[in-house]
Amino acid sequence: MQQVGLLVGKDLRIEARSRQTIGLVVVLGVLIVVVLGLGLGTQQGGGVAATAVLWTAYLFSGVLCFEKTMGVERADAALAGLMMAPVDRSVIFVAKLVSNLALMALVSTVVTAAGVLFFSFDLSAAPGQFIGIMSLGLVGFAAIGTLFSAVVSSTRLQGGLLALTVFPLSLPLVISSTQLLLRIFRDGESAGGQALAVIIAFDVIFLVASWVLFEWVLEP
């Protein structure tokens, strides 16, 4: 387990040093919110558009984030160096996932703040539940994103391939969180029910599946 700490520490230190990934990803996220804001104009519909705007921003900036954190390993074949160590491949997965989550936590905070600002999202009704639900969604998204970033990065044609594979897989998260938040904010219900179950099921299934598959998939 301290190996995970070591690996995550390394990732975050590299990030702090270069601030390359985090800068790009945060700005992209905010840009997307701005574009949607300009596009939707007065039609914004207040809080109802919230999950759409936020998920769009998360999906695109998230994919970029995952590409870059895996890119660090591919840059000078550093991954081969890792694989020469007595490190379980699943440990590498967990570490990458944690690093990705840490970065996405930062990104989502800034993006959500931008969304609240530009769209006047009113989260006062249930801010805790909002954060909780979106966080659960991001965990599942990051699990799939981390797995596929490893698979895709070993090919030369990286480009849109990660986004292509991860987006359709993440749609259940988008639907469930949207429906759930609609129920909470528009209908005044409390969190729970099938929508929440789907999100949690998604997280569990794909955390396990990604963890298992990573083992089979990692190549230097």
In the complex, the residues that contact another protein under the rule CB under 8 A are: 3, 6-7, 10, 13-14, 17-18, 72, 75-78, 80-87, 144, 147-148, 151-152, 154-155, 157, 161, 164-165, 167-169, 171-173, 175-176, 179, 194-195, 197-198, 201-202, 205-206, 209-210, 213, 216-217, 219-220
Shortest gap between Cβ of 127 and another protein (angstroms)? Answer: 23
Which residue lies nearer to another protein by CB, 185 or 202?
202
Shortest reach from residue 51's CB to another protein, in Å: 13
CA 199 to CA 167: how far, in whole Å? 15
Of residues 116 and 200, the one with the C-beta less far from another protein: 200
Residue closer to another protein by CB (options 112, 177) is 177
User: Which DSSP state fits 191?
Assistant: S
Please say which residue, 100 or 165, places its beta carbon nearer to another protein.
165
Q: Give the C-alpha separation, 37 to 127, whole Å.
A: 21
- Output b/e per residue, 128-167; b: 16+ Cβ within 10 A: ebbeebbebbbbbbbbbbbbbbbbbbeeeeeeebbbebbb
Toward another protein, which CB reaches closer, 49 or 87? 87
Helix (H) or strand (E) holding 211: helix 193-217
What's the min distance (Å) between Cβ of 48 and another protein?
13
Residue 42: CB minimum distance to another protein, A: 23
- Could you give the C-alpha distances from 123 to 53, 147, 156, in angstroms and in order? 14, 32, 43
Q: How far apart are CA 218 and CA 57, in angstroms?
A: 28
- Counting beta carbons within 10 angstroms of the beta carbon of residue 108, is it exposed (0 to 12), middle (13 to 18) or buried (19 or more)? buried
Do 199 and 132 meet the contact criterion of CB atoms below 8 Å apart? Answer: no
In the complex, minimum distance from the CB of residue 202 to another protein, in angstroms, rounded to a whole number: 5
Q: Closer to another protein at the Cβ: 30 or 54? A: 54
Smallest gap from residue 41 Cβ to another protein (A): 23
Residue written as token pair 């890792």: 82
At 4, list the tokens.
Answer: 């995970």
